[in-house]
A and B are shown apart, each in its own frame.
Chain A
Amino acid sequence: MKSMLEMLEATAVRVPDRIAFFDEHRQMTFIGLMERAKQIGSCLTHAAPPRAVIALLLDARSIENIPAMYGVLYAGCTYAPLDVAMPPARLQLMLETLRPALCLTDQKGEKALADCTLQLRTLSLTAAVDAEIDEERLHAVRMQVRPEDPMSILCTSGTTGTPKGSAQTHASYIRWTQATIRTYGFSEHEVFANQSPFFYANSILEVFPPIALGASVYLLPQGVLTFPKRMMELLNRHQITVFCMTPSSFTSVVRSGVLETACLPMLRWGIMSGESMPWQPLSQWMKSTPNANWWHFYGSTEMFSVAVGKVQGSYRADDRLPVGKPFEEVKLLFLNEGGTEAPPHEPGEMYVQSPWVAQGYWRDLSRTTEAWIDDPLGRGDGCFYRSGDIGYLREDGELMVLGRKDRQIKHMGYRMELEELEAALRRTPGWTEGCVLHDKRTDRIFCFYTGDTDENMIRSSLKALLPRYMLPDVYLHLESMPYTATMKLDRNALKEMMT
């Protein structure tokens, strides 16, 4: 297989009239999806050369994201989905990193771009879907696509304040999709629910395996997590069998009090993405879903999935749950501070090699060489991605993930770098000195600051630079910042103030 298009095409031939994607207003069959993608692709071949980057600036919940992504692939290009709700300043940083040949937009995308000062070429999706399919041109482009061409660039928080674009190839997606279907054991009869926006790597589980299988995907409405009662009704009404969210989202549903015993009888796969979920809320979900197995997977935007496993047995409330076993395609190294291999079953920083780890950060050689390390142990192992996560393999082969080596955090289920928040604080008018810390226990971000400014001034300035979930939850004004005897910022003293 050379391109991810082949999986869509095989399904469109096998079950053309089956519903591929649907929401409250619309549905799209597999043949409909393929034809729409070919129309968009035909139009794009006139606007951008093969292997160009095309930014997608579309309504995050629109079903049109899927034919748009595949349309870019039909044009032999790389798609980069962006969040149209991003503050213009940060959207601009992402566009400067990507330097797209073209932006494919809808009304929301147009609006988001209106506040950017960059000169960018745009193409309206409405115009693209009106194009005639030009099979000859599509074929000519297809001949040039190689499995090692980048298929997508997904943006993620960076420590310097400039987001990073993780680039994955067609080959990455092909191997990951095959391994995912095999490991979970999904069939073509599943109905997936999608909650994660397409600009997050979490969404790939609800796009590519279903298309390969010929299974249907229901797109939950905008902001559904805010209405957990409605969400449960919708999951039941559409007979969802596969549902994936971050542990923090699953936990927030438990807290809202809407879970009842056996309230989701149709669910067969409950999947907790990215990190390990605490046992107490998980056991509540298990009671609500008598026919489901619950699965963890560990991964990130750069790594896709690394380990996956069904939760078995029961735990105590404060036990740390394993995140599953590494995929058989994955090679893991655990390294000590000194760069040597940690003893078996002892914690170390995880270095990951797999057929689907990203190739690097788009147009960012220096941050790529920091994170992609060739042969870290000097024994001819090849290139590994340095995850920044600390973990170890248990004797039974289950992977335990303990935390981060750096200041990257998961806040409300979103991955972010505290340094990116601090970089934005330094750009706040009136800012003199300060820092941010994350209280993991309550998942709150504290901002400590000094000088002649206040919470409202800081907050309104940050809002223009960062997405909402990155803003501090608590602001504390100090007369001066605490320092240790060696004149380093005394983070422990600050931690004591986090109550």
Chain B
Amino acid sequence: MNEMDRLLTALREVKDDVDFASETALIDDGLIDSLDLTQILLALDEAFDIHIPAGEIEPENFNDVDAMLALVHRYQS
């Protein structure tokens, strides 16, 4: 499974009624809220073994899956 698939699988486990692959304004449109995001951070931690401090989170990094994957890469290196 490639990284994007792993990310999508992790996200779908958190929330199954959002089309993560095609949405581009997940935060701005309120499709994921703060409770979802907390769970998404845990899911990223689990799927990619990265820890993102809560204070470092910016909304831009969670509006679409490309931005999330870029964030994962930043924390992997």
Q: Using CB atoms and an 8 Å cutoff, list the residues of chain A in contact with chain B.
A: 60-61, 85, 221-223, 225-230, 255-258, 468-469
When A256-B53, A257-B53 are in contact, do A223 and B58 touch as well, CB less than 8 Å?
no
- Could you list 22 examples of A-B contacts with CB < 8 Å? A60-B30, A61-B30, A221-B28, A222-B27, A222-B28, A222-B30, A223-B27, A223-B33, A223-B34, A226-B33, A226-B34, A226-B37, A226-B57, A227-B57, A227-B58, A229-B56, A229-B57, A229-B58, A256-B53, A256-B54, A256-B55, A469-B35
B53, B55, B57: most-surrounded residue (chain A CB, <10 A): B55
Kindly report which residue of chain A lies nearest to residue B33, judged by CB atoms. A223
Kindly supply a per-residue 1/0 record for chain B positions 29-72, scoring 1 wherever the CB is within 8 Å of any chain A CB and 0 otherwise. Answer: 01001110110000000000000011111110000000000000
Other contacts beyond A221-B59, A227-B59: 17, CB < 8 A: A60-B30, A61-B30, A222-B27, A222-B30, A223-B59, A226-B33, A226-B37, A226-B57, A228-B54, A228-B55, A229-B55, A229-B56, A229-B58, A255-B54, A257-B53, A257-B55, A469-B35
Question: Which residue of chain B lies nearest to A233 when distances are taken between CB atoms in the complex?
Answer: B58
Min CB distance, B9 to chain A, in Å? 16
Task: Give the chain A neighbours of B54 by CB distance below 8 A.
Answer: 228, 255-257
Tell me how many residue pairs across A and B have CB atoms closer than 8 Å: 45
Q: A223-B33, A469-B35 are in contact. Are A258 and B55 (CB under 8 A)?
A: yes
- A468 and B37 alpha carbons, distance in the complex (Å): 13
Chain B: number of interface residues, binned into ranges: 10 to 19
Binding site for A on B (CB under 8 A): 27-28, 30, 33-35, 37-38, 53-59
B10: min CB distance to chain A, Å: 17
Choose among B34, B56, B57, B58 the residue with the greatest number of A CB atoms under 10 Å from its CB: B34
Give every chain B residue within 8 A of A228 (Cβ-Cβ). 54-55
Nearest 10 pairs between A and B by C-beta? A226-B34, A256-B55, A256-B54, A258-B55, A257-B55, A226-B37, A468-B35, A222-B30, A223-B34, A227-B59
CB distance from A469 to the nearest CB of B (A): 7
| Bound-complex Cα distance A222 to B59 (A) | 10
Q: Min CB distance, B60 to chain A, in Å? A: 9
Q: Please measure, in the bound complex, the distance between the C-alpha atom of A131 and the C-alpha atom of B64, giving whole angstroms.
A: 38
Chain A nearest CB from B41 CB (Å) reads 10
Complex Cα gap A229–B56 (Å)? 7
For residue B59, which residue of chain A has the nearest CB? A227
Q: Which residues of B contact A230 (CB under 8 A)?
A: 58-59
Which residues in B have their C-beta under 8 angstroms from that of A85?
30, 33
Residue of B nearest to A257 (CB): B55
